[in-house]
């Protein structure tokens, strides 16, 4: 039996929650320094872009990213669990998750574009192959 492909998916779920907590832990103090008089009624996260430091916003940007492309990952994993998978697919799932976690840490701390782009590109390639494998498993 190949490695459980659900484990990397569960790790990414937990990592997404961790990023949410990291975002809240940095935004809270930044908002405290800002004061509520600068926030418009019903403000959303996007409204904070010009009000709080970029380094604080980086965590929110990454959290949003973790709620975008990984939805394809979760769908591919679900399809593979139902249709069958092997060690290659489990490895691809781990490659994707590890690269997304590294991407998160990089974006939330250093945020230099060339490395972010490389991490995103390689993780997207892994996801693309995983998605094709999910398609093939259903045919």
Show the 3-state SS of the chain.
CCCCCHHHHHHHHHHHHHHHHHHHHHHHHHHHHHCHHHCCCCCCHHHHCCCCCHHHHHHHHHHHHHCCCHHHHHHHHHHHHHHCCCHHHHHHHHHHHHHHHHHHHHHHHCCCHHHHHHHHHHHHHHHHHHHHHHHHHHC
Q: What is the pTM of this model?
A: 0.91
Residue 35 has what pLDDT?
73
Q: What is the pLDDT of residues 71-102, one digit of tens each?
A: 999 999 999 999 999 999 999 999 999 999 99
Distance of alpha carbon 3 from alpha carbon 78, whole angstroms: 15
Class of domain 6-138: mainly alpha
For the chain, what are the domain ranges? 6-138
- Mean of pLDDT values over 98-126: 97
Nearest to 32 by CA among 53, 55, 62, 63: 53
């Amino acid at each position: 039996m190949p490695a459980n492909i659900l484990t990397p998916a569960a790790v990414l779920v937990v990592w997404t929650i961790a990023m949410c907590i990291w975002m809240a832990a940095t935004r809270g103090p930044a908002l405290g320094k800002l004061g509520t008089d600068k926030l418009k009624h019903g403000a959303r996260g996007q409204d904070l872009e010009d009000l709080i430091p970029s380094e604080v916003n980086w965590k929110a940007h990454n959290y949003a990213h973790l709620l975008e492309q990984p939805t394809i990952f979760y769908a591919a994993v679900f399809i593979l669990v139902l249709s069958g998978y092997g060690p290659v697919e489990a490895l691809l799932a781990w490659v994707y998750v590890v690269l997304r976690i590294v991407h998160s840490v990089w974006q939330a701390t250093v945020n230099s574009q060339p490395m972010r782009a490389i991490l995103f590109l390689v993780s997207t390639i892994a996801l693309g192959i995983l998605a094709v494998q999910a398609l093939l498993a259903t045919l």
